[in-house]
């Protein structure tokens, strides 16, 4: 597939190399030639020097044949404007993803109807989870962390408890998988938990918080 990464800061350079490693054709755009020094030495995509808002720059980046565009400059306002411009002028682009740098600017980006990834908010939430309880960890994040999947290990104290009992009163949370002795299954609400099981749940932030609180109460 053909991808364009607009912005070659640390984030853009890492994304570009990951896409290249996955076998995609990648064009990286930045308004400063020296920014491309951040790219991995093994990167073999194209680089284009120019302003991302310029029609000439996007043309030289071959936006007309792009399958996806990532807008990852350090300016949320610029990202929003560029993302909107690409969507209007290049309807062939199937995916337009913009980076959100300042969480306070998320509402503005969402007002443009753009798909966003908030690296700051996402990173802070991951650290919060690891600091709070490493045994209850996120393994997948949808959107910008509004819904996530968590793995939790079942200790001896919860042996014999049903899934429904564990999740009762936790709000927006559902069981996704139960792994026992390396074999996973889709658990029913009546499934009985055993020590050493790994229960995977999908939850909103509030749902995960409620389950954490419940687990802490059960431990005490």
pLDDT in tens, 150-177: 988 888 888 999 999 999 999 999 999 9
Q: Tell me whether residue 124 is in a domain.
A: no
Chain-centroid distance of CA 76 in Å reads: 17
Identify the pLDDT of residue 220.
62
Assigned token pair, 158: 């919860």
Is residue 157 exposed (0-12), middle (13-18) or buried (19+ Cβ within 10 Å)?
Answer: exposed
Distance in angstroms (rounded) separating the CA atoms of residues 47 and 145: 32
Q: Is the confidence at residue 205, as pLDDT, over 90?
A: no
Q: Mark whether 102 and 14 lie in a shared domain.
A: yes
Q: Quote the DSSP letter at residue 113.
A: T
Of 6-15, 124-133, 143-152, 205-214, minimum mean pLDDT range: 124-133
Q: Mark whether 42 and 72 lie in a shared domain.
A: yes
For 168: left if phi > 0, alpha if psi spans -120 to 50, otherwise beta; the answer is: beta
Q: Mark whether 183 and 103 lie in a shared domain.
A: no
Q: Mark whether 112 and 210 lie in a shared domain.
A: no
Q: Please report, for residues 113, 128, 131, the alpha-carbon distance to residue 125 in angstroms, rounded to integers and kept in the order given.
A: 23, 5, 10
Q: Is the confidence at residue 200, as pLDDT, over 90?
A: yes
pLDDT band at 111 (very low <50, low <70, confident <90, very high): confident
54 contacts 85 by C-beta, under 8 angstroms: no
Provide mean pLDDT across the span 193-216. Answer: 89
Q: Mark whether 37 and 115 lie in a shared domain.
A: yes
Q: Is the confidence at residue 134, as pLDDT, over 70?
A: no
Distance in angstroms (rounded) separating the CA atoms of residues 189 and 186: 10
Domain boundary among 100, 119, 138: 119
User: Domain containing 177: what range?
Assistant: 129-219
Domain boundary among 119, 141, 165: 119
Distance in angstroms (rounded) separating the CA atoms of residues 215 and 209: 10
Q: Mark whether 164 and 86 lie in a shared domain.
A: no
CA-wise closest residue to 51 among 43, 41, 59, 40: 59
Q: Is the confidence at residue 181, as pLDDT, over 90?
A: no
Q: Mark whether 76 and 149 lie in a shared domain.
A: no
Q: Mark whether 142 and 108 lie in a shared domain.
A: no
User: Scanning the structure block, which residue is given the tokens 């559902």?
Assistant: 174
CATH number of the domain residue 194 falls in:
3.30.70.1450
Number of domains in the chain: 2
Q: Is the pTM above the cut of 0.75?
A: no
Identify the pLDDT of residue 182.
83
Distance in angstroms (rounded) separating the CA atoms of residues 198 and 190: 16
Which residues, in sequence order, are bridge partners of residue 147? 142, 204
Q: Mark whether 133 and 169 lie in a shared domain.
A: yes
**pLDDT, the chain, mean:** 90
Distance in angstroms (rounded) separating the CA atoms of residues 27 and 177: 39
Is residue 142 exposed (0-12), middle (13-18) or buried (19+ Cβ within 10 Å)?
Answer: exposed
Distance in angstroms (rounded) separating the CA atoms of residues 105 and 214: 33
pLDDT band at 47 (very low <50, low <70, confident <90, very high): very high
Q: Mark whether 109 and 210 lie in a shared domain.
A: no
Provide mean pLDDT across the span 180-186. Answer: 90
């Amino acid at each position: 597939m053909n991808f364009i990464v607009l912005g070659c800061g640390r984030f853009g350079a890492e994304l570009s190399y990951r896409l290249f490693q996955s076998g995609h054709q990648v064009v990286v755009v930045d308004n400063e030639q020296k920014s491309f020094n951040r790219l991995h030495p093994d990167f073999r995509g194209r680089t284009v020097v120019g302003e991302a808002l310029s029609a000439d720059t996007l043309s030289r980046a071959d936006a007309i044949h792009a399958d996806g565009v990532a807008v990852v400059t350090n300016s949320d306002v610029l990202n929003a404007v560029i993302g909107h411009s690409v969507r209007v002028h290049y309807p062939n682009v199937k995916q337009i993803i913009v980076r959100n740098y300042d969480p306070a600017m998320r509402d503005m980006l969402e007002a443009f109807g753009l798909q966003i990834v908030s690296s700051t908010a996402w990173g802070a939430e991951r650290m919060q989870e690891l600091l709070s309880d490493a045994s209850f960890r996120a393994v997948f994040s949808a959107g910008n962390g509004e819904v996530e999947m968590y793995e939790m290990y079942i200790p001896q104290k919860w042996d014999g408890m049903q899934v429904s009992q564990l999740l009762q009163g936790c709000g927006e949370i559902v069981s996704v998988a139960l792994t026992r002795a390396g074999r996973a299954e889709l658990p029913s609400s009546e499934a009985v938990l055993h020590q050493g099981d790994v229960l995977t749940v999908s939850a909103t932030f509030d749902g995960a918080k409620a389950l954490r609180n419940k687990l802490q109460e059960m431990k005490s």
